[in-house]
Structures are given as structure tokens and as C-alpha cells.
A and B are shown apart, each in its own frame.
Chain A
Amino acid sequence: MSIEVQHLSFSYGSRQVLKDISFSVDKGEFLSILGPNGVGKSTLFRCMLGLLSGYTGTVMVDGVDARSFSVREAAKHIAYIPQSSRPVFNYSVFDIVLMGRSSSLSPFRSPGKQDNDRCRWALDKAGISHLARRCYHRLSGGEQQLVLIARALVQDAPILMLDEPTANLDFGNQLLVLQQARSLAQEGYTVIQTTHHPEQSYLFSDRILAVQNGQILTQGTPAQVLTQETMKLLYGVDVDVVSLYQDKARVCIPKNITPQEVSP
């Protein structure tokens, strides 16, 4: 299932946050949205998810205007994986994941056996079956992120939107979560993430969208976007972009900092 954003603009009062954003993501694609803090990445996400409605332009999901969706229909198309979730009350991992089934339940019903089965499937897929009975509050940040991914999977929505999924994670968990996201895209999910890591988006995603001042600076394949010029324009820093392993990876090294000499 594809998602297409056409000429999307949004203002908070008189302050325009997003200006004429257009891009599309196809089925099975993994898109990373890059950009400094406060350029409107989160606002863009909120518009696409239907959490903000006062935007101009359209968000088309498989050719249908997302505005026409009910809350329940929207949830059947797009699942959202927040940066972190701190529920006030204490739930087990299984219960948190089960909540993702709500869009398939009528309001007066509680989840049944089928929903429980679906939950076990998602926990298994996210590789956290062993955590099912644990209390969500006591998990590490990486484990919590995987729980939220499992919760999005039981929603049976073909589009997954991850808001800075690696922001609170240690290095190992960052790679774990990104690998998970990438393999989901390979299975046919449409995956969109916002991120602060150009190098990781180069490694894991199919395309990169660079956003600056509420506008699209550039978009394209990782090789097209992760360049010295774009990094300078995007983050205002001078870096050398070094290509490694026949350009399978790229590393950004700040220019005015010379690496410490290694003693022989």
C-alpha cells in the first residue's frame, strides 16, 4: 500500500510550519525523514496520521484521501510507533500489544481468542515472546520499542510510521530496531521513520527525505542525499562524507576537527 503526500502545508496560527511538502512512498519501501530539530518532522507525521487536521493539500493512502477515513479506518491503514510511551498505569507487555487490536473491535467488545493469537504472532515476529508476561514499565528502552512495534503489527495496517525509533536507545538496540524495520519493509510493509542519524538512514533505508525549514530540501536514494553539500545545508555543519566498502556505507566526519593522531 502506498502513501502519497501532495502539496501539504500547515500553520500553527500565523507561524507556517510546513510549506508545500510532496512525496510518496511505495509498498515495501523504507523511507527515512532527516532534518534538524524543530523543522516540522513531527508536525508532518501528525498530519499524515490524522492527528492534525488543519492542513492544506492532501494525504492519499492508496489513492484515497486520508481525510475521508474514520478514526477506526485510519488505524487500519496506518500504524504509529511513538518515540516512547509511558503509560500512567502498569500493564503487561501482552496487554499493551493487545491494545493494537482495538481498531478491529466494536467499542463495547473486549478482545477474544483470535486477538490473543494475533498478539502471540506479533510478539514472536518482533522477537519478544519471552517478554509477554513482563511488566512494560520495567523493560529497557529497546525492549519497549520492540513492544510498540509488535503493537503496531497486530493493528494489521500496511503502513508503519516510526517517530525517531532509535532516539532513546543504546547503539546495539538502535541497530536491532532498524534491522527489524528494514525486514518489515522487505516483507511488504510501507515503512516511514524520522531520524537524526544520516549514517544509519544511509545503511538501512531505501530513500531519504531531507526537510529544512518546513520544506523539502532534497529527496532521493541515500547516495543522492547523503552528500557533503546536503549535510551542510541541512545541519549547517561542514563534514567530509567518506565512502566505505564500495559505497555500502557512508560516514560523516566533522571537518574542523582533526582526528587524534594514533601513536604507532
Chain B
Amino acid sequence: MKQAFLTPRNKIILLAVLLIVCILGSFTLGHYPVPLPQLLGILGKHMGLPILPFWTVQMETAVWNIRLPRVLLSVLVGACLAGAGASYQGIFQNPMASPDILGASAGAGFGAALAILAGLSSVGITLGAFLCSLGTVFLVFTVSRHANGDRILGLVLAGIMVSSLFQAGTSFIKLAADPTNKLPQITYWLMGSLSGAKWQELGFVLIPMLTGLIPLILLRWQLNVVTMGDDEARAMGVNAPRIRLFTVLCSTLVTASAVSVSGMIGWVGLVIPHMLRRLVGSDYRYLMPGSMLGGSVFLLIVDNVSRNVTTAGIPIGILTAFIGAPFFLWLITGKGDHYEH
């Protein structure tokens, strides 16, 4: 009976419930814990419900101006990275693909470093990272169009090469940066963190994120067919190159948005889709929404650890690597795929 209840669909629903629990739980943790009734009251008030304040002003500031944007950003960034990772793995038929495979992260890092060097504000840094990230992927795409032979391989190789080029550029900027203030800022940005999250950043990335995430969810069945290879997909009536192009556009948009506000957060895009493959199988109808929810839950939990374990706050990118790499090893040494019933 246990098997019959835990269908992939129900697992997705449970994951969604878990996400809501994690979101509510996140508010109660921290240097200024807010109990659940007060939290719901504050949220309700801001949604326009006529609730008389039974909380302190500090509580409202903590919830509304500091914690809520950070929680929402964790949820969105997690969904974006894991969703993009899952879709790249499908369209490149490569289980090792991650959201930065086409250079989105390297480009964002370079753009952010450049913006910090130029002394821009935090919005300027986000914008610089976002534009450079898109520009890098565009460059990779253009270069790969001239590649001989296998198109997909050309794209992946171009991604690797252009990435290392931009990483070298970032290193050069670090060399040139003032070691007393700008170098630490660049280094900290590159480690990946959500500590600076504000409504401003959220407003900036929300539209591009949703513009990318929604088509990825809608296209999930086509992704299944594309994983069978271009010829087979075509014979089944699916134009794989067109789906791939469209998916790359959407995934790039969400990755660039995520990286531009959070810095380099590795492993989420690789590990979460693999974990979800274990949980709900490889069918993208469940894998895509599952990966997005799983990414959100994972990043939210990691961010809570990051802001609560030490007062300084460990950059989240370090934590995801500490958790992600051993976890991935466990995954590949674990007992096969147990999707079979």
C-alpha cells in the first residue's frame, strides 16, 4: 500500500508541503526569532487583511524588510539553479551538465568583479553580473555555431573554453583590485551568498526568473522526447534543435538571474536533479517541478544554516559545496536506480 500512495505525483505534493513548512520555519530562526502567530499576522497585514498589530515594530521590520526578501530569494534561486540543471541535463543528454555549463556563472563572476572594481552600487553589481552572464552564453552560442562536427559537443566545449577565459579575466581583475576593500568584496561575492538580499534585488530578477521558469515547466514533456536523441525525437514529431534552443534561452535567463543576485552557488544544479531522479524517476513531467521544489527546499535550509550557525554567516556557496560534493559521491556509489516497481 505504501507504494501506491507514494506515486511521483504525491511525492511532488509532499515536497511542496515541505517547502511551505521550511518557509514558515525560516522566520522563526535567527537572531530575532518571530513566533508563528505574529509572523502570519504580519504577512496577512501586508496582504491587505485588516489585522491590528499584536507585534513590535522591530518584529515587522525583521520579517518584512530583512527575512522575507531573503527567504523568497533563496526559494527562487534554488528553483532556478535546480530547474536549469535538470533541463540542461536533458537537452544535452548529459547527466553531468549543470547550470554553469554554458558559461553563465563565469560570465556573471566577471561582470560582478568588473562592477565592484568600478565601484558600482549593489544594484549595479547585480546588473553587471546579469548582463555579462547573458553575454557570455550568447558568445558561447555564437562560437559553437562555427564548430565542426557534433553541434551539442561543440556547444559544451565552447562553454568550457569561454568559461575558463572569463575566469582568467576575473582573476586578472582580482589582481588589479585594491586589496584592502575591493578584493575582499570580489572574493566574498564569488563565494556566493544571499546575505545582501533586499526587495530591490528581488524586484530586479523576479520577472526574468518567472519568464524562464514557466516555459521550462510547460515544456517538460518535450524534454523527455529530446533526451531520446535528435533523430528519434524528429521521427516522433518533435523538433529537438528548436526545443533545445528555446530551453537554453530559458535556462540561461534563470541561471543569469540567480547568479547575479546570489553569486556562485555551485552543486545545487547538479545534485538536486540527481536526487530527484532517485525520488520521482527521470520523467520530466515530475522531475522538472520536483527539481525546482527540491532546489528551493535545499537552498532555504542551507541558507538557514548559513545565517544561524555562525554570527558572521558562512557564504552559502561554500556550504553547498561541502554538502553537495560528498552527497554526490554517495549518490553515485549508492544502490542503483530504484525506480523499478
Residues of A within 8 A of B (CB): 46, 49-51, 71-72, 74-76, 78-80, 82, 85, 87-92, 95, 99-100, 102-105, 107-111, 133-135, 138, 151, 155
Q: Which residue of A lies closest to B337 (CB)?
A: A90
Q: Report chain B residues within 8 Å CB of A85.
A: 228-229, 232
By CB atoms of chain B within 10 A, which of A76, A80, A95, A99 has the most? A99
Docked complex Cα distance between A74 and B224 (Å): 20
B227 touches A138 (CB 8 A): no
Q: How far is the CB of B234 from chain A (nearest CB, A)?
A: 6
Binds A, one of B142-150, B163-171, B205-213, B275-283: B275-283
B43 sits at the interface (CB 8 A): no
Q: Which residue of B lies closest to A82 (CB)?
A: B232
Q: Which residue of A lies closest to B230 (CB)?
A: A51
Docked complex Cα distance between A79 and B234 (Å): 10
Q: How far is the CB of B81 from chain A (nearest CB, A)?
A: 20
In the complex, per-residue mask of B225-248: 1 if CB is within 8 Å of any chain A CB, else 0: 101110110111111000100000
Q: Report chain B residues within 8 Å CB of A88.
A: 93-95, 227
Q: Which residue of B lies closest to A151 (CB)?
A: B236
A110 touches B220 (CB 8 A): yes
A99 touches B236 (CB 8 A): yes
Can you identify 15 A-B contacts, CB atoms within 8 angstroms?
A74-B234, A75-B235, A75-B238, A78-B235, A87-B227, A89-B95, A89-B227, A89-B282, A99-B225, A104-B237, A107-B243, A108-B219, A133-B341, A135-B339, A155-B236
Q: Report chain B residues within 8 Å CB of A49.
A: 231, 234-235
Docked complex Cα distance between A218 and B235 (Å): 29
Q: Report chain B residues within 8 Å CB of A79.
A: 235
A71 touches B237 (CB 8 A): yes
A135 touches B340 (CB 8 A): yes
B6 sits at the interface (CB 8 A): no
Q: How far is the CB of B109 from chain A (nearest CB, A)?
A: 30
B17 sits at the interface (CB 8 A): no
Q: Report chain A residues within 8 Å CB of B219.
A: 107-108
B222 sits at the interface (CB 8 A): yes
Main secondary structure of the interface of B (DSSP, over half): loop
Q: Report chain A residues within 8 Å CB of B285.
A: 110
Q: How far is the CB of A198 from chain B (nearest CB, A)?
A: 27
Docked complex Cα distance between A104 and B225 (Å): 13
B282 touches A90 (CB 8 A): yes
B341 touches A50 (CB 8 A): no
Can you list the 5 inter-chain pairs with the closest CB atoms, starting with the nearest? A103-B237, A75-B237, A80-B235, A89-B282, A108-B218
B221 sits at the interface (CB 8 A): yes
B239 touches A110 (CB 8 A): no
Q: How far is the CB of A42 from chain B (nearest CB, A)?
A: 11
Docked complex Cα distance between A109 and B227 (Å): 17
Q: How far is the CB of A71 from chain B (nearest CB, A)?
A: 5
Given A71-B234, A75-B235, is A138 in contact with B224 using a C-beta cutoff of 8 Å?
no
Q: Report chain A residues within 8 Å CB of B341.
A: 133
Q: Which residue of B lies closest to A76 (CB)?
A: B237
B281 touches A100 (CB 8 A): no
Docked complex Cα distance between A131 and B232 (Å): 22
Q: Report chain B residues within 8 Å CB of A76.
A: 237
